[in-house]
Amino acid sequence: MFKSLDRNLNKLYKFSGYVAAFFLILVAVFILIGISSRIFGFYIRGLAEYSGYCMAAASFFALAYTFVEGGHIRITLFLEKLSGTKKKFIETWCLSIASFFSGYLAFYFVKMLIISYKFQERSEGADEILIWIPQTSVAIGSTIFFISVFHQFILTIKKD
């Protein structure tokens, strides 16, 4: 059962990385459209805001994938000096703290999303989009990140 769950979670993290890449491509497309529109003399409302929303989505969807792949700044320089029980204790302690803070972050992003949805809050930019729409990607990305950190915490505890 744990192997199946582990495999499916790793697929989720990889999928999250693909979603982040898609949003980065959208950022590039929006920027190119913005540049082209200036050259050809027309204006599309909200392109700067949409590229910002896509950048936020890309950043948060990339968190889990980057964490699992070892791309985040970690304490590995310190951990490689330790061995045995000390290493496992420090690694478990760090992952427990990271789990707490990433869970706190995810909880409040989801709470922010719910509040924005309830009040039908709109952005202050030229597009006046309902702000819960771009906030959804931030809430989902931070939740997947929390799952990945907690997953690593459980794997570290289970490890012999």
What are 94-133's pLDDT values in tens digits?
899 999 999 999 999 999 999 999 999 998 877 788 999 9
Q: Are 153 and 99 in contact (CB under 8 A)?
A: yes
In this structure, the number of other CB atoms found within 10 A of the CB of residue 69 comes to 12
Q: What is the average per-residue pLDDT within 126-150? A: 93
Whether residue 39 has pLDDT greater than 70:
yes
HSE-up of residue 11 (Cα within 13 Å, Cβ side): 6
CA gap 148, 160 in Å, rounded:
20
Q: Are 61 and 137 in contact (CB under 8 A)?
A: yes
CA gap 96, 148 in Å, rounded:
12
Instruction: Give the global pTM.
Output: 0.88
Look up residue 143 and give its two tokens: 């939740």
Confidence at residue 160, expressed as pLDDT on a 0 to 100 scale: 62
Q: What is the average per-residue pLDDT within 86-93? A: 85
CA gap 65, 21 in Å, rounded:
11
Indicate the length of the chain as a whole number.
Answer: 160
Look up residue 70 and give its two tokens: 């070892």
